[in-house]
Every structure is written in structure tokens, then in C-alpha cells.
């Protein structure tokens, strides 16, 4: 779940609601269904090499049906707090929230020069204002834009 979160920017609840039929490993995409998304909008997230390999490896260990990360009785998982806190403790990490991985995903995209509207689409933000908080990470984007002329 951590690797998928870091490489897709998905919200924790969206990961919990993922089913195997939402994963198209051939097309290298994950579909966040509207009913499982915060904004109720369906979106398709491309998978990079690490996310794809993670899902393929997980599928080899799992049943390959139902929820990708099933909870009790093949119902959606509802919490990872105990495992998350233990993971942070073992890694010696303090003050890091699950949602920080989503911020890391967005920050890395912006610093790599990805347009803010594309970042907005990938994150599933309904309003560009939410995405604009990452704009300061791309101070050279205006200069690069006028150099295209």
C-alpha cells in the first residue's frame, strides 16, 4: 500500500476501496471509481514501473479477485493505524502521516515540470485551488514557458 500510495498519490480510502477489476495491468492503469473517490469522480491513474511491479507482485500472492487490500471477510479494509505506527517506529520516522505520501507524489510531479492541471487530474482535486499550493515548487515554469516562444 505504501509503494502504491507513493507512486499514485491515491488517498488511503481510495486504496482501501480498490478491487482487482479496477487494475488494468496490461494498460498500466488503476481506476478510482466514483463511489470510492472523495470527489465522487471516476479517474484513471497511470502506473509507473514501480507501481506496476508492486501490483503484479501483490497479485501473485493474493487471490486476484475482490479487494486488492482486503480486510476481514473480503470486506474493504478500514484501518492500517497499528501497522502504520509500527512501520514508522521501526523505521525511526517521527511526525509522518499517511497523507504525506500524497503530498510527496504531488511535489515530485511539480518539481519534475508536470503541469499543475495534470497534477490536479492525477490527484483527483475538484478545484485547481487545492493543487496551486504546490506551485511554489516550480519557480522556473514561467521562464521555461516564455522560452518556448
Using one digit for the tens of pLDDT, what is the confidence trace for 20-73?
A: 999 999 999 999 987 666 667 789 999 999 999 999 999 988 876 789 998 888
Q: What is the pLDDT of residue 37?
A: 62
Is the torsion defined by CA of 62, 68, 71, 72 positive or negative?
A: negative
- What order of strands is seen across the sheet that includes strand 23-24? 23-24, 29-32, 43-46
Q: Which fold has domain 2-140?
A: hpI Integrase; Chain A (1.10.443)
Q: Helix, strand, or coil here: 31?
A: strand
Q: Helix, strand, or coil here: 118?
A: helix
The pLDDT confidence band at residue 123, using thresholds 50, 70 and 90, is: very high
Q: Helix, strand, or coil here: 59?
A: helix
Buried-exposed string 84-111: b where 16+ CB fall within 10 A, e elsewhere = beeeeeeeeeeeeebeebbeebbbbbbe
How many distinct helices (H) and strands (E) make up the chain? 8, 3
Q: What is the pLDDT of residue 30?
A: 96
Helix (H), strand (E) at residue 29: strand 29-32
Amino acid at each position: 500500500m505504501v509503494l502504491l500510495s507513493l507512486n499514485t498519490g491515491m488517498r488511503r480510502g481510495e486504496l482501501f476501496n480498490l478491487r482487482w477489476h479496477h487494475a488494468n495491468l496490461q494498460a498500466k492503469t488503476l481506476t478510482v471509481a466514483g463511489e470510492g473517490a472523495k470527489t465522487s469522480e471516476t479517474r484513471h491513474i497511470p502506473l509507473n514501473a514501480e507501481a506496476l511491479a508492486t501490483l503484479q507482485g501483490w497479485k501473485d500472492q493474493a487471490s486476484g479477485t475482490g479487494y486488492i487490500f482486503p480486510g476481514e471477510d473480503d470486506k474493504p479494509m478500514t484501518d492500517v493505524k497499528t501497522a502504520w505506527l509500527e512501520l514508522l517506529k521501526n523505521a525511526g520516522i517521527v511526525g509522518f502521516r499517511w497523507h504525506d505520501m500524497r503530498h510527496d507524489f504531488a511535489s515530485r510531479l511539480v518539481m519534475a515540470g508536470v503541469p499543475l492541471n495534470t497534477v490536479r487530474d492525477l490527484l483527483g482535486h475538484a478545484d485547481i485551488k487545492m493543487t496551486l499550493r504546490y506551485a511554489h515548487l516550480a519557480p522556473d515554469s514561467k521562464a521555461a514557458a516564455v522560452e518556448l516562444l
